[in-house]
Amino acid sequence: MVGDQSKLSIYGKDFDYSVIKGTVGPDVIDIRKLYGQTGAFTFDPGFTSTAACESALTYIDGDEGVLLHRGYPIGQLAENSNYMETCYLLLNGELPSAAELKDFSWTISRHTMLHEQLMSFYSGFRRDAHPMAIMCGVVGALSAFYHDSTDIADPDHRRISSHRLVAKMPTIAAAAYKYSLGQPFMYPDNKLSYTGNFLRMTFGVPAEEYEVNPVIEKAMDRIFILHADHEQNASTSTVRLAGSSGANPFACIAAGIACLWGPAHGGANEAALNMLREIGTPDKIPHYIERAKDKNDPFRLMGFGHRVYKNYDPRATVMQQTLREVFAAMKVTDPLFDTALKLEELALSDPYFIEKKLFPNVDFYSGIILSAIGFPTTMFTVLFALARTVGWVAQWNEMISDPAQKIGRPRQLYTGPTERDYVAIDKR
């Protein structure tokens, strides 16, 4: 919605720019004409003040610690919804009726298998390959197998490829795990729920019946909901940028997976648990807090801080609560949970973390719960990628359907040499 005009004074001259209002959140100043009018670019590395697109999917109020999917608070979805329903909501904009949900879940379940030849890709990887490396490769390779859904101009192709991606991720992720163990791959069992099926493909073996534990199934489903989408984060922006050139959705999601892998993003859940293990006992915490504050030490508290949240990440609240529920139901505990709670308490009372508004994010507690469920740390980011696929796909669809969509092509501030003549090698 275009609102007021805003005057910007540049090189002593005033220029008018429209101020566009969203339904909620900060206004944006439409500077698309700025270069044409002034000959200058804006400079915003890391996009700290730049909206790169319009989106109706997810809203974050970082100061208040609010996260909404299509308007629904994440806490309500985590409490009352399930992952399939949340997927439908993100992809279609509204919560489904019972019949719509049944139909959607059935459709997804019909796409859970992988082309058999794709399964042979796994044997090309070393057994000790990081499963995220396998995910990047196998998801990228999907475009070589599903040519019938890569015409991005066709809405049916877009819908089918979206369903395929959401449906096949658990099979791909579980196979990456099985491969690392040297165990046979498990085919999907479509009688089970999306999440139950994933647990069976991951922890089951063909030699035995696998019974899905409903407590773990619910916790895992909730963890998937918590990771389903998160506005224009680095991996989502990567998917959009890759997709803006017209690349097929499988290639775009592979790009998103590559970006998610980094420890500042999805890789933080693995890094956070490794950090807690390194800290070990609560008495060591002050030493690590001092290290995190030391500018000359690269160490950071993993699972702490966020570009947008300057308050408690609402996903971390649900994650901590889910962790308590799983521990109670399984009658287990983990001393690292006490270390994490103490670390949170000490960090949140330290002036450095208070001033910089650094709070626990979604990754702080997720590692402890995933570890309790039985996943090795290398699988943590894979689970994030699995769950985030629906968000990436929904954002990609939104972009492709937007008539104003253009190829993403940032500008730069050039600081290299000005034009100079080539010097022959014997003259250098």
Note the maximum CA span of the chain. Answer: 77
**Quick one: 171 or 269, whose CB is closer to ligand CMC?**
269
Question: Is residue 363 near ligand CMC by the rule CB under 6 A?
Answer: yes
373 lies in the site for ligand CMC, by CB under 6 A: no
Helix (H) or strand (E) run with residue 283 in it: none
Judged by CB under 6 A, which stretch of 51-59, 110-118, 296-304, 369-377 contacts ligand CMC? 296-304
Closest C-alpha to 108, from 176, 231, 175, 192: 192
Interacting span for ligand CMC (CB under 6 A) from 79-87, 138-146, 354-362, 367-375: 354-362
304 binds ligand CMC (CB under 6 A): yes
Q: In this chain, which of 65, 243, 303, 391 binds ligand CMC, going by CB under 6 A?
A: 303
Catalytic, 363? Answer yes
Gap between the Cα atoms of 249 and 157, Å rounded: 10
Q: In sequence order, which ranges of 63-154 are alpha helices (DSSP H)?
A: 74-80, 83-92, 98-109, 116-119, 131-141
Contact 226, 78 (CB under 8 A): yes
Q: Which of 10, 264, 328, 341 binds ligand CMC (CB under 6 A)?
A: 264
Q: Which of 112, 197, 361, 371 binds ligand CMC (CB under 6 A)?
A: 361
Stretch that binds ligand CMC, among 152-160, 179-187, 297-305, 334-342 (CB under 6 A): 297-305
Q: Which stretch binds ligand CMC (CB under 6 A): 35-43, 134-142, 304-312, 367-375?
A: 304-312
CB of residue 12 to ligand CMC, shortest distance in Å: 33
285, 338 in Cβ contact below 8 A?
Answer: no
Please pick, among 163, 227, 306, 313, the residue that the annotation labels catalytic. Answer: 306
Q: Which of 362, 369, 382, 386 binds ligand CMC (CB under 6 A)?
A: 362
User: Degrees (nearest 5) of the Cα angle 405, 25, 234?
Assistant: 55
Put the strands of the sheet holding 13-20 in their side by side order. Answer: 2-10, 13-20, 28-29
Question: Based on the number of CB atoms within 10 Å of its own CB, is 282 exposed (0-12), middle (13-18) or buried (19 or more)?
Answer: middle
Residue with smaller CB distance to ligand CMC, 58 or 150: 58
Q: How many CA atoms lie less than 13 Å away from 1 in the CB half-sphere?
A: 9
Which token pair is 163?
Answer: 């369903």
Out of 21, 115, 159, 265, point to the residue binding ligand CMC (CB under 6 A).
265
CA nearest neighbour of 356 among 292, 287, 424, 263: 292
Alpha helices (H) along 189-306: 194-203, 214-226, 234-244, 249-260, 268-279, 285-293
* Of positions 160, 167, 273, 302, contacts ligand CMC by CB under 6 A: 302
Q: Is 306 in the site for ligand CMC (CB under 6 A)?
A: yes
Choices 145-153, 205-213, 358-366, 394-402 (CB under 6 A): range interacting with ligand CMC: 358-366
266 binds ligand CMC per the rule CB under 6 A: yes
> Contact with ligand CMC (CB under 6 A): which of 188, 305, 314, 367?
305
Integer-rounded Cα Rg, in Å, for the chain is 23
Total residues in contact with ligand CMC, by rule CB under 6 A? 19
Among 143, 161, 195, 233, binds ligand CMC (CB under 6 A): 233
Helix segments in 148-229, DSSP class H: 155-181, 194-203, 214-226
**Which listed residue (141, 253, 279, 292) binds ligand CMC by CB under 6 A?**
292
**Nearer Cβ to ligand CMC, position 248 or 361?**
361
Q: Which of 363, 402, 421, 426 is catalytic?
A: 363
Q: In the complex with ligand CMC, which residue's Cβ is closer, 201 or 275?
A: 275
Minimum Å gap between C-beta 210 and ligand CMC is 31
19, 82, 403 from 54: Cα distances, Å = 14, 27, 11
Give the chain's length. 428
Positions touching ligand CMC (CB under 6 A) are 233, 264-266, 268, 292, 300-307, 356, 358, 361-363
Active-site residue set:
306, 363
